[in-house]
Amino acid sequence: MKILVFLGTVRDSTPPKPARLGVRVANVCMECFRIGYSQLDVELIDALDYPLETVFKPHFTYSEEGA
């Protein structure tokens, strides 16, 4: 059986630092699947691997004057 772990954020601005905290969570999830279920094939699907246009920026990424 194959398990897909989706990392959906494409954020590259901060805060927080580092900008993509979800990478850590995805890696831990993948490791837990690998340890607990050795027969599973675990794969990471990262949104940054696919060319997508930016739809919007979060409010906190703008300066106070530009928001």
Query: Is the separation of the CB atoms in 3 and 33 below 8 Å?
Result: yes
For residue 54, the model assigns a pLDDT of 67
Distance CA 65, CA 46 (A): 33
Question: Is position 21 within any domain?
Answer: yes
Give domain status of residue 57, yes or no: yes
Low-confidence ranges of the chain (pLDDT < 50): none
pLDDT at res. 44:
92
User: Is 39 domain-assigned?
Assistant: yes
What pLDDT score was predicted for residue 22? Answer: 85
Our count of domains for the chain comes to: 1
**Full residue range of the structural domain in which residue 50 is found:** 2-61
Task: Answer whether residue 66 is part of any domain.
Answer: no
Task: Quote the pLDDT of residue 55.
Answer: 67
Within-domain flag for 26 = yes
Task: Identify the pLDDT of residue 13.
Answer: 67
Q: Torsion angle, CA of 43/32/15/9, rounded to 10 degrees?
A: 30
